[in-house]
Structure 1
Amino acid sequence: MSDRETTKGVENVTALKAFAHPLRIRLYYALRNARVATVSYLANAVEVPIAQASYHLKQLSQHGFIEPAPQYARDARERWWQLSSQRLRWDASTVLDEPEAAGVAAMIKNSAVREQYRLIEEFNESGDWDTGWLDAAFMVDVTVDLTRAELAGMHAELMAVVERYTALSRRRSSTQPEVERVMCVMHGFPVRRATGGDT
C-alpha cells in the first residue's frame, strides 16, 4: 500500500497555519528522517533549547501532524514522537480558496525548500560517504515544454516510482547492512519564458 493510500493531506487553513513557522518545518523534517525520536534528540538536531522544541512539537501534534510514541519511552519523563498519518501536502484547488491560505502556503513552501536544500548542502559538504554512495546519489535539472495535464502526468509517474521504492523500504529493516535513509527532492513547476530573445 502506498504512502498516498495510507496518509491524508492538509484540508484547511488552520492546519496550514500550524506549519507557518520555519522551526516547525525543521522539526518535522528531523522527525521524518529519524522516524521516531525524543524531544531532546530533535532539539539537538535543530539546535534549539529542549523547551522551545517541545512547544513547537506540541503545536504540530495539536494539528495532527505528529503523535506521541510512548511505546519507546524507558520512563515517564522520556517523551517520544513520530509522524501521524497526516502529511504536509494539500491540493491548491481546495485549501487555497480559503482566506490567507495562499500566503501561508507560500511561506511553508519556502521554508520547506530552504530545509531541503540545507540537507542537500550538508550531504554535498560531508566527507562521510564512500564513493559508492556518492556515485548513487543524483541531482536532476531539466527544462521541458509541457501542458498542465502532461506535468500532472509526469508527477503521477514519478510518484509511482517513489511509491514502489517506499514499499520496498517498508518490507525490510532499516538496520540491514548497506541500507541508509535516503531523501529525494523533486520539483516540477512552470517558469516564465524570457521575452525578446530566442525561443
Structure 2
Amino acid sequence: MPRRTASERHVATTPATADIGAETGSALLDVLTAFHHPTRRWLCELLAVEGPATVGRLASRTGLAVGSVSHHLGTLHRYGFVEPAPDLARDTRESWWRSRPRQVSWDATDFGEGTVARRIASSAEAENFRHHVRAVQRWLAEGETAPAEVRHAAVATDSLVAATVEQMAELSRRLTDLVVEWGEECRADAEVRPDVRRLPVRVSARVFPSGPVKP
C-alpha cells in the first residue's frame, strides 16, 4: 500500500468549523482540553517562537517520540492552533507545521456548578495559571544573566486600587486591546524587517478583585 502524503495525512485533523475563536458550549470545552495540555502548549510555543518545523525536528527538539508529536500536532490542528506548512516541504512525505495565532476566552462560571463542564473549564484556568508561573520562574532564574537592555525593557507591575466593577471591566478591555494591537504590530514589523534581532516576549496580565494578601 503506497504511503500517504503529508497533505493526505492532515485531512483527518482539518478544523471542522469556520468559527475558530468563537466557540461556545461543548465546542469550547474541546478547545480548552486540547490547548491546556502542557506538552501541546509547549509545542505551540516552540512553533511560535522558533518558527515552522517538521515533526522530526520537533521530536528531536523535545525528546518526544515522533508518533507522540504527530498526535499532539493533529489535535492542535483540529482546533486551529497550528496548521500544515506544505510549502516548506522538500517532498510530499515531509510533514511541516507552523503556528497559527488565535485567541481563547472563557469563564468557568458559564458552566453549571458541579458539572463536568465546570470542572474542565476550571482545570483549564488552573493549568493556564501554572503555565504562567513556570514562565515567570524561568525568567527569575535566568533573568540576571540577560543583557542589561533586556532586563530594563522587561517590567513587573502591581497595583491595588479601589474601583467599580465597570472600571475594572474597562481596564480589562483596554489591556486586552492594547496587547492584541501590539502583537499585530510586532508580526507586521517582522514581515517588513525580517533580519532585525527579536526576542520571544511573553505578556501576561490579570485584572481581578483582591483584598490584602496575608504573608
Q: Among residues 88, 96, 112, which one is paired with 1:80 in the alignment?
A: 96
Does residue 123 (structure 1) correspond to residue 157 (structure 2)? The answer is no
In structure 1, the residue matched to 2:5 is none
In structure 2, the residue matched to 1:149 is 166
Q: Among residues 168, 181, 203, which one is paired with 1:184 in the alignment?
A: 203
What's the offset of the Cα at 1:58? 0.9
Confirm or deny: 8 A CA contact 1:73 1:79 kept in the other structure. yes
In structure 2, C-alpha distance between the alignment counterparts of 1:45 and 1:141, rounded to whole Å: 36
Q: 3-state DSSP class of the match of 2:64?
A: coil
In structure 1, C-alpha distance between the alignment counterparts of 2:182 and 2:47, rounded to whole Å: 20
Q: 3-state DSSP class of the match of 2:178?
A: helix
% same residue: 27
Does residue 167 (structure 1) correspond to residue 200 (structure 2)? The answer is no
- How many pairs are equivalent? 189
- The letter for the 2-side match of 1:181 is P
- With structure 1 as the length reference, what TM-score do the two structures score? 0.75
Q: Among residues 70, 73, 98, which one is paired with 1:57 in the alignment?
A: 73
Confirm or deny: 8 A CA contact 1:38 1:80 kept in the other structure. yes
In structure 2, the residue matched to 1:135 is 152
- With structure 2 as the length reference, what TM-score do the two structures score? 0.71
Cα 1:34/1:75, change in 2 over 3 Å = same
In structure 2, the residue matched to 1:29 is 45
**Which runs of 5 or more residues in structure 1 are unaligned?**
1-6
- Indicate the structure with greater helix content: 2
Confirm or deny: 8 A CA contact 1:65 1:87 kept in the other structure. no
What's the offset of the Cα at 1:15? 2.8
Cα 1:177/1:66, change in 2 over 3 Å = closer
In structure 2, the residue matched to 1:3 is none
Cα 1:117/1:176, change in 2 over 3 Å = farther
In structure 1, the residue matched to 2:10 is none
Question: How large is the Cα RMSD of the aligned pairs?
Answer: 3.1
In structure 2, C-alpha distance between the alignment counterparts of 1:60 and 1:76, rounded to whole Å: 21
Report which structure shows greater RCO (CA 8 Å, sep ≥6): 1
- The letter for the 2-side match of 1:8 is G
Confirm or deny: 8 A CA contact 1:10 1:86 kept in the other structure. no
What's the offset of the Cα at 1:26? 2.5
In structure 2, C-alpha distance between the alignment counterparts of 1:152 and 1:33, rounded to whole Å: 31
Confirm or deny: 8 A CA contact 2:81 2:102 kept in the other structure. yes
In structure 2, the residue matched to 1:69 is 85
Confirm or deny: 8 A CA contact 1:36 1:82 kept in the other structure. yes
